[in-house]
Amino acid sequence: MCLTIPARVLTAKGKSAVVESGGKKKEVKTDFVSVKKGDYVLLQAGFVVQKLSRKKAEEWLKLLKGG
């Protein structure tokens, strides 16, 4: 089973981006999805796999926190 994690893009350059999720920053690959600063995305295994709305991202983060 794989888990995707919602995150917000802080910076994007070339085929990589720095994202923040749960207060932690991580560099990820953007080979499959074009992103820009401020986008909300789903991550899996270090790759952005999908964009999503801010509302959806906030709902997912709330669920992951147990709320």
Q: Are 59 and 52 in contact (CB under 8 A)?
A: no
pTM of the model: 0.87
Alpha-carbon dihedral sign for residues 24, 25, 30, 34: positive
Q: Are 41 and 50 in contact (CB under 8 A)?
A: yes
Structure-block tokens of residue 10: 């802080």
| Total number of domains in the chain | 1
pLDDT tens by residue, 20-48: 988 899 999 999 999 999 999 999 999 99
| Domain assignment of residue 10, given as a range | 5-59
For residue 18, give the CATH number of its domain: 2.30.30.140
User: Does residue 34 form part of some domain?
Assistant: yes
